[in-house]
Structure 1
Amino acid sequence: MDELVTAMIRLVDPAQPDLDVAEHAKSVAQHCAGTLGVDAAGVLLAYPEPPLRALGASDPLAHRLIQLQTGRERGPAAECYRRGQPISVPDLGRAGFDAALLAEADRRGFRSLHAIPVWLRGEVVGVGELFSHEPGPLSPATHDLAQALLGAAAVGLAHSSELSARSRLVHELQTALASRVVIEQAKGVLAARHGITVDVAFEQIRRRARGTNRKLHDVAREIVRTTTGNRSDHGGPDTSRCTQ
């Protein structure tokens, strides 16, 4: 039980923006296989948008099985995702799913498969699959624990996405503020040098940006940088002059 609790804590709070979704899915599958008493597990996700993609598995054998289910309208993963309900196949030898999937499962020694929907904020965003070498149903307790692990993983994924979005917003705001500061500095430089208003100075900066097909803040930065250079050069040529 301690191992299960530890796994849930790690999955629900990855504590990092720009999470590697494939690595996260692989970690989910490994935790499922290691704590639920099944032989292998895999995770297919349709996050942040469909379709379902095979993202991670506890081992290469399971990964091959979830890969075979991507892009198909029938099969345990597709049915589970579409219905939002668990799909249990206690005996793969008697299942009526895709022949290639059944043949691959048999070749790799898997006798039962259980697909469980991954829910996030009232929406199915993926499917977790549990594989066993023995035929038989999945116990209610194991199903509930698997649902809890998958739910924790989904929350962690959403948390990471929100952190990434917040980080990008902060960066954009910082960039915009820095650009605004440089433009204001350039306006002040031109206004003081030519005895004009800051509005006229801004229009000169904008005219130069249009004429040279450059961004406003790039022209402003050049004016400020050139002015600083002129001062350090003790009155060198003024290359930042704008024509009114």
Structure 2
Amino acid sequence: MNEREGPLVQAFVELADTLVADYDLIELAQRLVDDCARLLAVDAAGILVAAPGDGLQVLASTTEQARLLELFQVQSEAGPCLLAYRTGVSVLVQDLAVEPDRWPAFARRALSDGFRAVCALPLRLRDERIGALNLFSRTAGALSAKDVLVGQALADIATIGILHQRAATRSETINRQLQTALNTRIIIEQAKGMLAERSGIDMDTAFGQLRGYARANNRRLTDLARAVVEGTAEVGTFLDGSAP
């Protein structure tokens, strides 16, 4: 067993365990992108999903920079992620500096953020496509064929998780559940912003503290974020590690 095989097996086991329990879709997606950044030759990752009647939206990302880059693709309606979502085929660009004309605006933005390579993997099951997984690397040519295969396997787990929730209810409830997850993501972003502003820290640090506190105190990330936004969790004592 090579150095990476053990952690990969463990990651898949933990994700499979999550799917058979009552899981939080946001937390599942966040774990997936975190695993991608930890186990593959990438520096950031994110997931975009198709919201009911509202185009693609960010479901999870490892960094604020990656989240904004994903949003940029959606707003400009061009980029590898949108192509992967629309075609159901993986898109790999090993060096954006060599292929700047493919998506000029995206390439300029990604390169200015320090990313040289990108891989977009579709969230798909047969003919159904529900979004895409983005993998960003600061090193050109960093992603190997094996990394792409592993990334697609992780993307497939995300697809199964989302479709599992959809299959459990009728279409009206399905749309409401996914919209609820996306609305929850907005609350998490608001909580991150509040913590960052009040404590003078960046958004990534704020999210790390928010998520770390939730795990350490056995609280759902979404519930804790809502408490921060609603003011029932005191930001100062929260960041000090005390109970809110």
TM-score, normalised by the number of residues in structure 1: 0.59
Query: CA offsets per residue over residues 12-57 of structure 1, 9 Å max, x none?
Result: 443455x544433222211111111211111111156662212211
2:164 aligned residue (159, 169, 176): 159
Tell me how far apart the structure 1 counterparts of residues 52 and 160 of structure 2 sit (CA, whole Å).
13
1:77 aligned residue (65, 77, 81): 81
Q: What amino acid maps onto 2:141 in structure 1? A: G
For residues 48-197 of structure 1, what are the structure 2 equivalents within 5 Å? 51-93=55-97, 94-136=99-141, 138-163=143-168
Query: CA offsets per residue over residues 175-230 of structure 1, 9 Å max, x none?
Result: xxxxxxxxxxxxxxxxxxxxxxxxxxxxxxxxxxxxxxxxxxxxxxxxxxxxxxxx
CA RMSD of aligned residues (A): 2.5
Residues 47/123 of structure 1: CA separation in 2 closer, same or farther (3 Å cut): farther
Tell me how far apart the structure 1 counterparts of residues 154 and 52 of structure 2 sit (CA, whole Å).
19
Residues 73/63 of structure 1: CA separation in 2 closer, same or farther (3 Å cut): closer
- The secondary structure found in structure 1 opposite 2:124 is strand
Residues 70/137 of structure 1: CA separation in 2 closer, same or farther (3 Å cut): same
Query: CA offsets per residue over residues 60-92 of structure 1, 9 Å max, x none?
Result: 121111111114432111111111111111111
Tell me how far apart the structure 1 counterparts of residues 94 and 46 of structure 2 sit (CA, whole Å).
17
Residues 26/8 of structure 1: CA separation in 2 closer, same or farther (3 Å cut): same
Residues 49/147 of structure 1: CA separation in 2 closer, same or farther (3 Å cut): farther
Tell me how far apart the structure 2 counterparts of residues 9 and 140 of structure 1 sit (CA, whole Å).
22
Tell me how far apart the structure 2 counterparts of residues 91 and 160 of structure 1 sit (CA, whole Å).
37
Query: Is this contact kept in 2: 1:29–1:42, CA < 8 A?
Result: yes
Tell me how far apart the structure 2 counterparts of residues 80 and 3 of structure 1 sit (CA, whole Å).
27
- Equivalent residue for 1:26? 30
Which has the higher Rg, Structure 1 or Structure 2? 1
- The secondary structure found in structure 2 opposite 1:85 is coil
- The secondary structure found in structure 2 opposite 1:69 is helix
> What residue ranges of structure 2 are gaps of 5+ in the alignment?
174-244
Query: Is this contact kept in 2: 1:119–1:125, CA < 8 A?
Result: yes
Q: What amino acid maps onto 2:155 in structure 1? A: L
Query: CA offsets per residue over residues 85-141 of structure 1, 9 Å max, x none?
Result: 111111112322444432332222111111111113541211111111111163211
Query: Is this contact kept in 1: 2:42–2:143, CA < 8 A?
Result: no
- Equivalent residue for 1:37? 41
- The secondary structure found in structure 1 opposite 2:148 is helix
- Aligned length, in residue pairs: 165
